[in-house]
A and B are shown apart, each in its own frame.
Chain A
Amino acid sequence: MKVKVWNRISFSQGRNAFIVGLILGIIGGFIQIASEFFRQEELITANIRQMVQMVQDSAASAAYNVNEVQAEKAISGLANYWPVSRVEIIDDFGTMLSSRGAGGEQPGGGTFTRLFGLPHKDHSFPLYYYDKSIPVGKIKVYLDRNVIIGRFVKGSTYVIFDGIITALVMATVLALIFYYSLTRPLLRVVGDIAEVDVANPQDFYLRDPMFHRHDEMGLLVKTINRLLEQIKLQNDVLKDTNVELEKRVQDRTRALKDAEEKLIRTEKLAVIGKLAGSIAHELRTPLGVLKNAVYFLNMKLKGSGDEKVNKHLRIMEDEIHVSDRIISDILTFGRVKEPEREETDINQVILQALSKVDIPENIKVTTQLDNDLPRLHIDNIQVEQVFSNLLLNAIQSMESGGEMVIRTHMAGGSVEGQVIDTGVGIPEENIPKIFEPLFSTKVTGTGLGLSICKNIVDMHKGQIHVYSRVGEGTSVTVKLPIKV
């Protein structure tokens, strides 16, 4: 940030000082010239008086004799005196005997006399003859004030130049003083201020003004520093407020997102529930007919010994069972109701679920149930369904065999039930989506199992967590509070 030289205070002050100095110099010069002029004029008048005294007798004789030639001679010397514009000898009859001029300005004329407003000036000396007994006329001497001033002005030219030079020097000195005492410190302050990042002033303060600590510059720097301090404090407050606001926004956003997700899920669930109702109603009846038909065929053909027929009958029976289960899932999902709580042993609920699941031979099941667990106030049917779904998922993830561990234990104020498998695992990106309705990685899955699990756990004020690694297996933990 730069200020042009001619815009600087020091320059303008120097210029002002020059103008003032020049004006004062001119006024002073005029006064000096005027006083010197009047002093010179007095000297000139005294000289003229002396010169007149020298020619007075001759002039008086000329006037007495009315002799123009003699009069002319008498005043010739006086008329040649440079300040004199005209000399006249006038006799006592009023007749001008002689009038001689030096060729200067006529009385009342002249540039300088008009400029200075000086009136015409003349001196009159009476002439007497015979021992001053007879007045015979007078000598009249006109001063050429124009010439006097002109000479004096010419002679005073150096004074004027001297005044101008003095004014210039004084102006320069003043400008330098102003520069070093005002402009430079001010520019330094301005430079410091320009470097301050008002948005983030940190610990930046204006430099100590050194020789100006106790003057206005020091006061300015102190004031600005105080201002910066206040800005810094305000910034800190603002920053804290921003952080808090950001946190609030994040919380609100998260809450909003949750609400939105909940809404979407609710909407989805509502749609699914509605759909499930109609599907269940329409499929359960023909499926029941098929089930009865297969039962009848089994009874009739059980003893035929045709293995191929028996095999196909079993396949039909299994698929009907699968279809029935799918319909049950859908119906369960659509009809999730408030849990009917009663004191229940969670281990028994898990074992009940395990007993209802067909476990392939290539899967090893290990139970690690804590027998000291407190009884929980839960809906045992709903919780059994949760673990049934988890066990089925685990079994389905281990088509080529593996190990399944079922574990219960205390965790703070909750009881945790875990189903751990060594199956294919779930990709990381799918983990957040696995509780969404209709999301499934399996070909035959409805995508409702885990969603139903989460709904049930949520209604029990519990939590469900999934930990999985592709190729290693999955661990699902259901955490149910002891006290509801």
Chain B
Amino acid sequence: MRKISVILVAMACVLFAGNSARADLRDPGVPDTGSKVIKICVEERDWYPFLYAEGRQARGILVDMAKEAVARAGFSMEVEPFPLKRCIKLAEHGRVDGVAAIPYSKQFARFLEYPAGAAVDKESPWRIMQIDQVVVTFSGNDFEFDGDLRTLPQPVRVPFNDPIGVTLKQAGLETEEAKTDRQNVAKLIRDRKGSVITTTVTAETLAQDESFRGMIEIQAVPLRSRSYFLSFSWKSSLSEFERRKIWEELERLRSDYVFMLQLLAQY
């Protein structure tokens, strides 16, 4: 029951964070200009159903939402998955117009423009989605997370290039990085020590996996909840107005729970 309740909370965060309602994926009132192509980079990670890749094709709810928002703003969008750091570099050099599904970071903010309040808002109105990060430990462990980072079992395994890794290192914790959360959990079970930081949805999914069932425990107190944005390169040719318009479209989409339910139903 506890696990189910965690999933529901997560879903609620993602799907019902907004209050606008939309029946269709595409607003018929928005002109389909298709004249300007926006290149967007997304992190290449297995984060189904939110974000994942099929070959070189980026898929997932976040990609669809971004595409829809951009389309409603009057542009078309090309999405390509890359590692997060490469996405940042591409944006830094102006090779892409923006990066989708990226949390705020001071480091990233040097090359990317975030919506107003991204640095301070717990739940930004301009976000694509809000994701909780939880602590996963080995099931035989008596550890209970109380919100204090310093008490986390070490090594703390985090996704590759996730900004949380920097935070944990700054707190003096030993960290390990892996490309996928599955790899981190596998290492946890192999070593039977330490902890894994992942999203709530991923944690629930892995807990149901045959390989890990009964071997991991998801801590009830979330590590933190973060807003994920569609941020734009400072070197992008998009004007300030066009960027704001896209963010506003996102805000509208996220508030359109009908659209969100239809979107979720596809996965």
Tell me whether A130 and B83 are in contact (CB under 8 A): no
Among residues 78 to 93 in chain A, which have CB atoms less than 8 Å away from a CB atom of chain B?
Answer: 91, 93
With a cutoff of 8 Å between Cβ atoms, the chain B residues found around residue A130 in the complex are: 56
Tell me whether A93 and B85 are in contact (CB under 8 A): no
Report how many residues on chain B are interfacial, defined by Cβ distance under 8 Å. Answer: 11
Tell me whether A65 and B89 are in contact (CB under 8 A): no
Interface flags, B45-82, vs A, CB<8A=1, else 0: 00000000000100000000000000000000000001
Tell me whether A65 and B56 are in contact (CB under 8 A): no
B86 at the interface (CB under 8 A from A): yes
Tell me whether A65 and B85 are in contact (CB under 8 A): yes
A353 at the interface (CB under 8 A from B): no
Tell me whether A93 and B83 are in contact (CB under 8 A): no
A-B contact pairs, 17 of them (CB 8 A): A64-B82, A64-B83, A64-B86, A65-B86, A65-B160, A65-B161, A66-B83, A66-B85, A66-B86, A66-B88, A66-B89, A67-B83, A67-B85, A91-B89, A93-B89, A93-B93, A95-B89
In the bound assembly, the distance between CA atoms of A175 and B116 in angstroms comes to 97
Interface flags, A50-93, vs B, CB<8A=1, else 0: 00000000000000111100000000000000000000000101
With a cutoff of 8 Å between Cβ atoms, the chain B residues found around residue A91 in the complex are: 89
In the bound assembly, the distance between CA atoms of A93 and B89 in angstroms comes to 8
With a cutoff of 8 Å between Cβ atoms, the chain B residues found around residue A66 in the complex are: 83, 85-86, 88-89
Of all chain A residues, the one with the shortest Cβ separation from B87 is A66
With a cutoff of 8 Å between Cβ atoms, the chain B residues found around residue A65 in the complex are: 83, 85-86, 160-161
What are the 9 closest A-B residue pairs judged by CB atoms, nearest first? A66-B85, A65-B83, A93-B89, A66-B86, A93-B93, A66-B89, A65-B85, A130-B56, A64-B86
Residues of A within 8 A of B (CB): 64-67, 91, 93, 95, 130, 133
The smallest beta-carbon distance between A65 and chain B, in angstroms, is 4
The smallest beta-carbon distance between B110 and chain A, in angstroms, is 14
Interface flags, B16-58, vs A, CB<8A=1, else 0: 0000000000000000000000000000000000000000100
With a cutoff of 8 Å between Cβ atoms, the chain B residues found around residue A95 in the complex are: 89
The smallest beta-carbon distance between B41 and chain A, in angstroms, is 12
The smallest beta-carbon distance between B159 and chain A, in angstroms, is 12
The smallest beta-carbon distance between A70 and chain B, in angstroms, is 10
In the bound assembly, the distance between CA atoms of A93 and B94 in angstroms comes to 11
With a cutoff of 8 Å between Cβ atoms, the chain A residues found around residue B93 in the complex are: 93
In the bound assembly, the distance between CA atoms of A95 and B90 in angstroms comes to 12
With a cutoff of 8 Å between Cβ atoms, the chain A residues found around residue B85 in the complex are: 65-67
The smallest beta-carbon distance between A131 and chain B, in angstroms, is 10
In the bound assembly, the distance between CA atoms of A96 and B62 in angstroms comes to 32
In the bound assembly, the distance between CA atoms of A93 and B86 in angstroms comes to 10
With a cutoff of 8 Å between Cβ atoms, the chain A residues found around residue B160 in the complex are: 65, 67
The smallest beta-carbon distance between B91 and chain A, in angstroms, is 11
With a cutoff of 8 Å between Cβ atoms, the chain A residues found around residue B82 in the complex are: 64
In the bound assembly, the distance between CA atoms of A410 and B83 in angstroms comes to 165
With a cutoff of 8 Å between Cβ atoms, the chain A residues found around residue B56 in the complex are: 130, 133
